[in-house]
Amino acid sequence: MKYSRKKGRSFAKGTHARAISDRDGMEYPYLEMRKEWNGLMVHKDEWEPKHPQLAPRSASDATALKNARPDNDVESDANEDGLTKTGDTWDSGATFGGN
């Protein structure tokens, strides 16, 4: 059995068809329905575009340095406060007048 089909049209036009909205459950004309980004079929008055924050841009943060080396500077004996060790005491290098 050979099926005949009009060229270019494989579905009905839907001029008299009705559809139920996935959002509010109301019945609307089929031609006024829109498909949202999440797959819901909703009426054109209920349709909402996808919010930009649902598809964030990928930010690539470097977690390591290529060919990194440890700090082996032997001349700098200063600690995080800027004090240097001289003998058994820590010296700030500040001089006071008088002597």
Please check whether residue 72 lies inside any domain of the structure: no
> By residue range, what is the domain housing residue 39?
15-48
Assign 36 a pLDDT band (cuts: 50, 70, 90): very high
Please check whether residue 36 lies inside any domain of the structure: yes
Please check whether residue 67 lies inside any domain of the structure: no
Task: State the average pLDDT over residues 15-22.
Answer: 93
SS (H, E, C) the chain: CCCCCCCCCCCCCCCCCEEECCCCCCEEEHHHEEECCCCCEEECCCCCCCCHHHCCCCCCCCCCCCCCCCCCCCCCCCCCCCCEEECCEEECCCCCCCC
CA distance 93 to 86: 10
Assign 91 a pLDDT band (cuts: 50, 70, 90): low
Number of domains observed in the structure of the chain: 1
